[in-house]
Structure 1
């Protein structure tokens, strides 16, 4: 039998309690931490479960990073609150040897969706490096009459609220991306949340929903088998892994900006010395330039990045502003 639903107010209290327990006042890094660092094993915290995309990215980076640093880099999964628990662990870490890899949500929208999130990205974290990015792919069931992007947008607008779209939960990137598209185009499709992208794909193939912004690794196999149709990528530039799928921006006109990506990044506690963060960003960039690593990520639907801390800071600020506007205009709430 399915588990009974926990009432929303109680779920919010449970979430707030879990997050509060995860964050304690952080100890500062010792002043000598930048000299001869690291002096012991480095913890790489991932706020998502084993087998998830962030977990796979962390394990791709961990082995070569341990070789570069001369100390083990140990991946630890601290799951909960859509990744915010893992970031909370990093924010409070004071051992001088804890960093974290996370998706963009905990760094951009977590606090916008839940003001009780007990860390402030600008105050409690030090950016280190962007790791990889990927577009969402606007995906439809094979039952949709439109076969191209412009036709789809025209058809969806004409249907009013008779169409539905799936996401992996309120406030998730797949949800916010569609809400942004709805704002720009006048589409009124109704939101249907699911636990994960495999369930979204199943619902699309079963014609229980009509559309979704999906991650490439889930959408591509079903499209190749002829069970789903790919209409457009969410980034303004074409994506190499889907060269035949146009950017959604191309159908909107120059006055409407639509440039949305899912990305993962590595951060440390705010007390991490700048030289340590800079060394880590340099090592991560070197790892992500390796042809075998880039190909492995490409095969999973990712574009390898590797950036300076300042580039990650800019990305966080840019996306926080963009999604803050969407959340304010649409009234989206997280669970």
Structure 2
């Protein structure tokens, strides 16, 4: 039983705490944001990163008490928008970026105007998606092991398609080749729709494609889904096995999107936004909306995103260097 003396002591402590001044960090967090927050996304309206941005902006506007306005700045695979965020100075600019912007951007293009490791404040990993190793409809085999053996049998007479040099599909295929002995040659296209057309026509035999692009053609019987690149099966394509299940290790790779601010963004603000994002990502309606757009909702601490950036950069740097991969 709590004594009267303990109750009086607790009340006195609470009163004293109320009289103490806020620390600078506490005051800064409480005051922010003082105006609308700009959420820069480096892809056009209707793209999957844009859907992520708009899903997040609605909920963050309520959580932060200020409008969160999406600002589409497409170009250079998201690097134009990422650079704007890196150079922002008003503490009210955040960015939706993809893994390429935060990991290998400068490795595949030394002219990239920002340093992923230095110029951003990681806030939260937002969503992940695997890539589907997709084969032409006439590929020989029905299991992942059989289809990979077929791909190896083609040697360097086989081709694989990607939406361009230095894209995640390009890096992922070269990583897969290094682990399996597949000898397919790279054929870049303007985008994934053209890759699919080439697969169906037999101009290329393999590709790593987002589930939303690959699976409609797989279900129509025009292409074959070999396996996914994620470490475990994905809710986006639960019936497709992983490369790990096929005995191929060391090829775990996901597409992901994240929320960042400029490196100068105060840590208390970073923590506040990350906490708000984590709550948003727990909501079933948010998860359902993002799943439809091709994302598995995550919501991580800033440290989790920072660790993911380092791990993915380390994984891909060797393949970029050994294969001398450069962006278009």
Q: CA separation in 2, counterparts of 1:158 and 1:65?
A: 51
Q: CA separation in 1, counterparts of 2:294 and 2:67?
A: 28
Structure 1 position 287, deviation (Å) = 0.8
Q: CA separation in 1, counterparts of 2:307 and 2:94?
A: 19
Alignment of 1:22-101 (within 5 A): 33-101=28-96
Q: 1:19 maps to which residue?
A: none
Q: 1:228 maps to which residue?
A: 223
Q: CA separation in 2, counterparts of 1:222 and 1:157?
A: 23
Q: CA separation in 2, counterparts of 1:169 and 1:311?
A: 29
Residues 92, 269 of structure 1: 8 Å contact kept: yes
Q: CA separation in 1, counterparts of 2:317 and 2:292?
A: 32
Q: Does 2:202 correspond to 1:207? A: yes
Q: CA separation in 2, counterparts of 1:150 and 1:330?
A: 25
Q: 2:234 maps to which residue?
A: 239
RMSD (CA atoms): 1.5
Larger Rg: 2
Q: What SS does the corresponding residue of 1:317 show, helix, strand or coil?
A: helix
Picking from 274, 289, 292, the partner of 1:281 is 274
Structure 1 position 196, deviation (Å) = 1.6
Structure 1 position 78, deviation (Å) = 1.4
Q: What SS does the corresponding residue of 2:203 show, helix, strand or coil?
A: coil
Alignment of 1:1-335 (within 5 A): 33-252=28-247, 256-335=249-328
Q: CA separation in 1, counterparts of 2:287 and 2:233?
A: 18
Task: Kindly provide the CA deviation profile for residues 43-62 of structure 1, in whole angstroms up to 9, marking residues without a partner as x.
Answer: 00011122221111111111
Q: CA separation in 1, counterparts of 2:232 and 2:118?
A: 33
TM superposition score normalised by structure 1: 0.88
User: Any unmatched runs of 5+ in structure 2?
Assistant: 1-23
Q: What SS does the corresponding residue of 1:265 show, helix, strand or coil?
A: strand
Structure 1 position 265, deviation (Å) = 0.2
User: For this pair of structures, how many residues does the alignment match?
Assistant: 304
Residues 102, 117 of structure 2: 8 Å contact kept: no
Q: 1:18 maps to which residue?
A: none
Structure 1 position 33, deviation (Å) = 4.6
Task: Kindly provide the CA deviation profile for residues 124-172 of structure 1, in whole angstroms up to 9, marking residues without a partner as x.
Answer: 1100000000000001121212222101111111211111111111110
Q: CA separation in 1, counterparts of 2:154 and 2:197?
A: 23
Q: CA separation in 2, counterparts of 1:48 and 1:299?
A: 18
Structure 1 position 122, deviation (Å) = 2.3
Structure 1 position 243, deviation (Å) = 2.1
Residues 33, 96 of structure 1: 8 Å contact kept: no
Q: CA separation in 1, counterparts of 2:290 and 2:74?
A: 23
Q: CA separation in 1, counterparts of 2:324 and 2:147?
A: 26
Q: 1:13 maps to which residue?
A: none
Q: What SS does the corresponding residue of 1:123 show, helix, strand or coil?
A: coil
